[in-house]
Amino acid sequence: MAVIFSKPKALMDATLHYCPGCTHGIVHRLVAEAVDALGIEGRTIGIAPVGCSVMAYDYFACDMIEASHGRAPAVATGVKRSLPDRVVFTYQGDGDLASIGLCETVSAACRGENITVIFINNAIYGMTGGQMAPTSLVGQVTQTSPYGRDAKTQGMPIRICELLASLDAPAYLARVAVNSVANVRKAGKAVLTAFRNQVEGRGFSLVEVISTCPTNWGLTPENACRWVEEKMIPFYPLGVYRDKAADGKEAAK
């Protein structure tokens, strides 16, 4: 019988602990597919964050490091500067990357650190039980915004791709979603580009993945995907915010 679908080699044969309908599993797979496609598993080192994907180190087959909350880009910098020919990626959530670790994120991007950052934006703190994230939408009800996020007192959500696009150094910034088959395909391409950029030495690449959290959003998986389409994407427009390779800026040098 022909095998038409199989697990990427760069994923361990482990049962993921994620909730039903959570899109972490899809993104893990996209990362593993990119690693397989480029044949870089043996020289890839991943950095797991603090958050729902804290145990990502058990799922990826490459060498893995667990970082403290928000510091993955600094840890990745230390690894990359020690072993410049290795491929180093961080996998971070919105609280990790856009709140407590914002300084590390912006600074690594500003240095043009040659690493790949996979940023899961699901507008909520999942692991601690559904608190407001820096990316929670205005009006969104969470455990710590029980009356809905109030822009007056809790501020506006942060758009990371747009923020980082104000910097000169980043090589690639893209926002994708994984709420539909078509979007998953596009997301896969973006993740692959972000890894290929590093292999080719282009510098800092970040893919923001609009993800779901059915458990803490209080929605069914299907409705969660719909919520992404109707609420998240209008505020967080999908697209490529920076692509130096495509712009031919590199070639023009």
- Please tell me whether residue 67 binds other proteins under the rule CB under 8 A: yes
Q: What is the DSSP string of 109-138?
A: HHHT-S-EEEEEE-SEETTTTSEE-TTPPT
Q: How far is the CB of 148 from other proteins (least distance, A)?
A: 32
Residue nearer to other proteins on the CB measure, 84 or 139 = 84
Kindly indicate which of the ranges 79-87, 141-149, 185-193, 228-236 contains the residues binding other proteins, using the contact rule CB under 8 A: 79-87
Q: How far is the CB of 104 from other proteins (least distance, A)?
A: 5
CB 75 within 8 A of CB 50: no
- Please tell me whether residue 79 binds other proteins under the rule CB under 8 A: yes
Give CA–CA dist 45/58, Å, rounded: 13
- Please tell me whether residue 63 binds other proteins under the rule CB under 8 A: yes
CB 30 within 8 A of CB 183: no
Kindly indicate which of the ranges 38-46, 189-197, 207-215, 222-230 contains the residues binding other proteins, using the contact rule CB under 8 A: 38-46
Tokens of 48: 């797991």
- Please tell me whether residue 118 binds other proteins under the rule CB under 8 A: no
Phi then psi dihedrals of residue 35, to 5 deg: -65, -45
Report the half-sphere exposure of 241 (CA within 13 A, side-chain side): 23
Count of residues near other proteins by CB under 8 A: 36
Residue nearer to other proteins on the CB measure, 84 or 239 = 84
Kindly indicate which of the ranges 73-81, 165-173, 192-200, 211-219 contains the residues binding other proteins, using the contact rule CB under 8 A: 73-81
- Please tell me whether residue 185 binds other proteins under the rule CB under 8 A: no
